[in-house]
Amino acid sequence: MGQMMNQPLLISSIVEFASRHNGGSEIVSRRVEGDMHRYTFRECHQRSRRLANALQGLGVKMGDRVATLAWNGYRHLEAYYAVSGSGAVLHTINPRLHPEQVAYIINHAEDQLLFFDLTFLPAIEAVAAHCKMIKGYVLMTDRAHMPADSKIPDLMCYEDLINSHSDDYTWPQFDENSAATLCYTSGTTGNPKGALYSHRSTVLHAYASALPNALNVTSHDTVLPVVPMFHVNAWGLPYSVPLTGARMVFPGPALDGKSLYELFESEGVTMSAGVPTVWLGLINYALQNKLKFSTFRRTVIGGSACPPAMMNTLIDEFGVEVVHAWGMTEMSPLGTACVLSSKHKAMPQDEQRKILQKQGHAIFGVDMKIVDDDGKELPWDGVGYGHLLVKGPWIISSYFKGEGGDVLQDGWFPTGDVATIDSDGYMQITDRSKDVIKSGGEWIGTIDLENIAMAHPAVMQAACIGIYHPKWDERPLLIVVRRPGQEVSREELLAFYEGKIAKWWTPDDVVFADALPLGATGKVQKNKLRDHYKDHKLPTA
């Protein structure tokens, strides 16, 4: 055995480090109450310790689940550190889930306490009766904003709660494999399943995701996580940013283009992270109002494929570097990030862009492979695609409470994505396996088809699904949302595919829609689209 200090990797060490070594770094939050709030990591640590004492006072024990239903903000951050740091398990709930799903996961997780933002008071009042195990509800606001009366009995006030406790608290030391946070998948089919992260997996993910080849968080950044803290822990930013001393800016509930733009400018945000739909709003607002960013330099985009047109606009119009990243709830979430290597530096710009559009290179800790239907590993040639499997210390080995049974295949987690990997290790997702279109025994990836459509100036959003075809089994149908005030016909769009893709991949038909159905994490819900268009008759059929 080596003779090194024996120190568990614990989430409490992150806030302790930030408070001690970057104590003066600022955390800025746009509050649900409407105003701006500012304090430092030192104060964040102090209030987290008060909250830890309060949790103890409320009878929360090691391993107990404590839920939050909240936007990105400083109180949510305090809950992150206090709950996990004290040995309990933070269960972040996605408020965009159906109320029945919210009640289901609260009961499934056996949550003891629920902390929530003002926004969600009506929603919680509606589900509270179905959540029998919850022993206490805490509204994350101050006395002045507490409702005069509420259907929730004994509703607690967050500020009162922490003010009634001392900050004299020493973070307990325990096994780093202890559970720290619980996050449910959005579960398009069946009930949501929980990913139960450990302290060890969270700290390792924080180290790895902050690396220069991944999120690249530096001490002189001002980081605004648009990705919600209820969605896989905001991609780990509440853990990776405090390692570095960067400033943090939280947008609260205001995620529209205008609110984000104003916050980016007023706070001098340099770095951000979020899903493509959020950037769509921000970009449109800036374009419509002919605005540029003064400080914004770099963003991470993931959660679904970043359309090349969006990447090009961010880089070419706004001078914002884009890091395309890929991961999933089951992966904490980061698996790959796309940053160029030395060998790419000499390439012409459009070739570089093609690399940057890939989901990228594995981050050290993660291994991946693509396999055929029989589980045989496929070569990394950048062309052949297969089912993507992953492993690593921040990837789940099973779902919470064993839901879904044995999920691993020979020690690897099957992601449900279909991908290619090139000889330099750059991975590109071609589709979700369940969205792939099976045309005459061959596969057509829908991401490519959608990206081409979205490169058309009149197209705001596009989705492609497989529709029944008597001869080919399935053929692609393109569903398009036009930009406000813009026109484009079915024929023009079909002609737009010419020369960009193999002829037989071209969609068989185009329909126009006012909006696409988005799931709780901002992804297009293709199962809804398939349902909606299941009787659509293709002209080729």
Ligand X SMILES: Nc1ncnc2c1ncn2[C@@H]1O[C@H](COP(=O)(O)O)[C@@H](O)[C@H]1O
Please identify which residue in 339, 436, 437, 493 interacts with its own copies, judged by CB under 8 A.
339
Bond into 95 cis (ω within 30): no
Among positions 398-437, residues that touch ligand X (CB under 6 A) are 415-417, 429, 432
Strands (E), 25-178: 26-30, 36-40, 65-69, 89-92, 113-116, 136-139, 156-157
Please identify which residue in 107, 398, 433, 527 interacts with its own copies, judged by CB under 8 A.
398
Short-list 272, 332, 327, CA closest to 303: 327
- Tell me how far apart the alpha carbons of residues 155 and 99 are, in angstroms, rounded to a whole number: 20
| Piece of 158-166, 209-217, 251-259, 320-328 that binds ligand X (CB under 6 A) | 320-328
Selecting among 351, 443, 492, 500, the annotated active-site residue is: 443
| Smallest separation, CB 153 to ligand X (Å) | 34
Choosing among ligand X, its own copies, none, which partner's interface includes residue 107 (Cβ < 5 to 8 Å by kind)?
A: none
Q: Is 354 a catalytic residue?
A: no
Selecting among 292, 434, 438, 537, the annotated active-site residue is: 438
Q: What number of CA atoms fall less than 13 Å from residue 325's CA on the CB side?
A: 29
The answer to whether residue 451 forms part of the interface with its own copies (CB under 8 A) is no
CA torsion angle 454 457 460 466 (round to 10): -40
CA distance to 276, 305, 310, 496, per residue, from 479 (Å): 18, 17, 18, 15
Among positions 232-261, residues that touch ligand X (CB under 6 A) are 232
Structure tokens at 521: 């994490």
Choosing among its own copies, ligand X, none, which partner's interface includes residue 453 (Cβ < 5 to 8 Å by kind)?
A: none
| Piece of 116-124, 358-366, 508-516, 518-526 that binds its own copies (CB under 8 A) | 358-366
Choosing among ligand X, its own copies, none, which partner's interface includes residue 303 (Cβ < 5 to 8 Å by kind)?
A: ligand X
Please identify which residue in 185, 216, 420, 439 interacts with ligand X, judged by CB under 6 A.
185
The answer to whether residue 201 forms part of the interface with ligand X (CB under 6 A) is no
Choosing among its own copies, ligand X, none, which partner's interface includes residue 343 (Cβ < 5 to 8 Å by kind)?
A: its own copies
Structure tokens at 352: 């570089």
Output 204 or 322, the one with its CB closest to ligand X.
Answer: 322
- Tell me how far apart the alpha carbons of residues 94 and 235 are, in angstroms, rounded to a whole number: 14
- Measured from the Cβ of residue 200, the count of other Cβ atoms closer than 10 Å reads 19
Q: Is 474 a catalytic residue?
A: no
Output 106 or 195, the one with its CB closest to ligand X.
Answer: 195
Selecting among 92, 185, 270, 420, the annotated active-site residue is: 185
- Measured from the Cβ of residue 144, the count of other Cβ atoms closer than 10 Å reads 8
Choosing among ligand X, its own copies, none, which partner's interface includes residue 186 (Cβ < 5 to 8 Å by kind)?
A: ligand X
For residue 395, give the 3-state DSSP assignment.
coil
- Tell me how far apart the alpha carbons of residues 235 and 312 are, in angstroms, rounded to a whole number: 23
Among positions 176-195, residues that touch its own copies (CB under 8 A) are 177-180, 195
Output 166 or 423, the one with its CB closest to its own copies.
Answer: 423
Choosing among its own copies, ligand X, none, which partner's interface includes residue 377 (Cβ < 5 to 8 Å by kind)?
A: none
Among positions 16-55, residues that touch its own copies (CB under 8 A) are 17, 20-25
The answer to whether residue 209 forms part of the interface with ligand X (CB under 6 A) is no
Q: What number of CA atoms fall less than 13 Å from residue 19's CA on the CB side?
A: 15
Output 100 or 424, the one with its CB closest to its own copies.
Answer: 424
DSSP 247-315: EEEE-BT--SHHHHHHHHHHHT--EEEE-HHHHHHHHHHHHHTT---SS--EEEE-SS---HHHHHIII
- Tell me how far apart the alpha carbons of residues 265 and 294 are, in angstroms, rounded to a whole number: 7
Among positions 496-535, residues that touch ligand X (CB under 6 A) are 521
Please identify which residue in 245, 302, 307, 445 interacts with ligand X, judged by CB under 6 A.
302
Structure tokens at 203: 């700290």
Strands (E), 413-472: 413-421, 426-432, 437-439, 442-444, 459-469
- Total of residues contacting its own copies (CB under 8 A): 73
For residue 188, give the 3-state DSSP assignment.
coil
| Smallest separation, CB 329 to ligand X (Å) | 3
Q: Is residue 76 within 8 Å of residue 140, measured between CB atoms?
A: yes
Which residue type, as a one-letter code, is found at position 172?
A: P
Q: Is 330 a catalytic residue?
A: yes
The answer to whether residue 298 forms part of the interface with its own copies (CB under 8 A) is no
Residue located via tokens 């007023």: 266
Choosing among its own copies, ligand X, none, which partner's interface includes residue 198 (Cβ < 5 to 8 Å by kind)?
A: its own copies
Burial class (CB in 10 A: 0-12, 13-18, 19+), 251: buried
Short-list 210, 171, 178, 214, CA closest to 197: 178
Choosing among ligand X, its own copies, none, which partner's interface includes residue 222 (Cβ < 5 to 8 Å by kind)?
A: its own copies
Residue 136: phi and psi, rounded to 5, are -165, 145
- Tell me how far apart the alpha carbons of residues 210 and 217 are, in angstroms, rounded to a whole number: 5
Among positions 142-171, residues that touch its own copies (CB under 8 A) are none
Q: What number of CA atoms fall less than 13 Å from residue 262's CA on the CB side?
A: 8
Q: Is residue 433 within 8 Å of residue 387, measured between CB atoms?
A: yes
Please identify which residue in 196, 273, 328, 529 interacts with its own copies, judged by CB under 8 A.
196
Q: Is residue 40 within 8 Å of residue 74, measured between CB atoms?
A: no
Output 163 or 397, the one with its CB closest to its own copies.
Answer: 397
Strands (E), 313-393: 321-327, 334-337, 360-362, 367-371, 386-391
Output 68 or 186, the one with its CB closest to ligand X.
Answer: 186
Q: Report how far Cα 440 is from the mean position of its chain's Cα atoms.
A: 35
Q: Is 491 a catalytic residue?
A: no
Choosing among its own copies, ligand X, none, which partner's interface includes residue 197 (Cβ < 5 to 8 Å by kind)?
A: its own copies
Choosing among its own copies, ligand X, none, which partner's interface includes residue 245 (Cβ < 5 to 8 Å by kind)?
A: its own copies
Output 171 or 496, the one with its CB closest to its own copies.
Answer: 171
The answer to whether residue 132 forms part of the interface with its own copies (CB under 8 A) is no
Output 101 or 216, the one with its CB closest to its own copies.
Answer: 216
Binding mask 231-270 for its own copies (x = CB under 8 A): ------------xxxxx-----------------------
User: Would you tell me which residues interact with ligand X (CB under 6 A)?
Assistant: 185-186, 232, 302-305, 324-329, 333, 359, 415-417, 429, 432, 521
Query: What residues are annotated to the active site?
Result: 185, 330, 438, 443
